[in-house]
Amino acid sequence: MTYPLNSLGFAKPPSETRVVVAMSGGVDSSVVAAQLAEEGYDVIGVTLQLYDHGAALAKKGACCAGRDIHDARRVAEEMGFPHYVLDYENIFREAVIDEFADSYLGGATPVPCIRCNERVKFRDLLATAKDLDADCMATGHYIQRKSGALGPELHAAADSTRDQSYFLFSTTAEQLSYLRFPLGHLPSKDATRQLATRYGLAIADKPDSQDICFVPNGDYASVIEKLRPGAADPGDIVDMEGTVLGTHRGVIHYTVGQRRGLGIGGLVDPLYVVRLDPDARQVVVGPKEALSTRIVPVREINWLGDAPLTSQAVWEVEVKVRSTRPPRPALIRPLSATEAEVELLTPEEGVSAGQACVFYSGGDSRVLGGGWIWRGH
């Protein structure tokens, strides 16, 4: 007997389709697990313990604390499927936290959530899902996977205010064939919370996590200080010609684009942080115009287009250089299969090394991939 494709795209009954759900303990991934369990799939919930439990328990508002592990386990009990907690602390420290600290000290503005998806969730956890003989792995990310002429395509979420495509640009074509994102088509977060209420989940009203999970209350500086003692040493604030204008209390306390809190008085025109030079312990400041960038060098590109990146001299696309900004028109000029120069048709402020530059096909929601900005101001 031949079966029609089920909701996860397999030609067999849900009960014979095993799916591993990556459960953070939040509303989104809990709803995914509950929905698939209700539809009759063979669900296995997996939660990652990513860093020190003792420190995590004391803190609210981020995604990987002990409270969240408890919440994920409770959802699994309520919905009647097995749940495992995997200790990924060492992997997480090596693959995400160490690079975050080094990159921040290098004057960059890192986005550790992307590295976590790339190096932990979609690599190690995905391998674990395959070891468990799962047909696929599902997550609560707000992004869409659509069938295209040449295979699955990555698309931005239907709700642009919830879209997480910026954080998932490094998902490879091979990973995409194995991953599922059941929430990507929903019109709003309210729709997800309504589903949580419908499934009777105790976490239906749980607030969204705001912080990077290992940075309590958004206090980057204290985390970096712990990881890299000496990073808070004071130094000079200089203008773009190198003239000393004042002193600072440690490069880690400043970000590119910052205007307030520089402690330089008596100036007619406001100055902004244009560059951080940790080696010289200098914070370089300049006028607002100095923050505008048109040419953005990008490397470590993950390309998801149908034709190879190098098959065209120039690609007309839209790009995001910050997760909070809408895609803007740009040109990609490939230098190799993994490096390119991106020209922003309208210059943007605050483009910083260490951030991602994500490519979208103009006119629709398709994600064509992206790369890492490696030399900004």
d(Cα 301, Cα 298) in Å, to the nearest integer? 7
By the 8 A CB rule, do 177 and 134 touch?
A: no
Maximum Cα interatomic distance, the chain, rounded to a whole number of Å: 82
Residue 150 in tokens: 């040449």
Residue 40 in tokens: 């009759």
Nearest to 366 by CA among 86, 145, 110, 131: 145
Q: Which residues are bridge partners to 235 per DSSP?
A: 248
Choose, from 63, 64, 113, 116, the residue flagged as catalytic. Answer: 116
Nearby residues of 130 by Cβ (< 8 Å), 6 or more positions away: 178
- Catalytic annotation on 213? yes
d(Cα 32, Cα 55) in Å, to the nearest integer? 28
Choose, from 63, 64, 136, 213, the residue flagged as catalytic. Answer: 213
Residue 56 in tokens: 């995590």
d(Cα 110, Cα 138) in Å, to the nearest integer? 26
Residue 180 in tokens: 């599922």
Q: Report which residue type is found at 250.
A: G
d(Cα 247, Cα 148) in Å, to the nearest integer? 56
| Sign of the dihedral defined by the CA atoms of residues 299, 304, 309, 314, in that order | negative
Q: Which residues are catalytic?
A: 116, 213
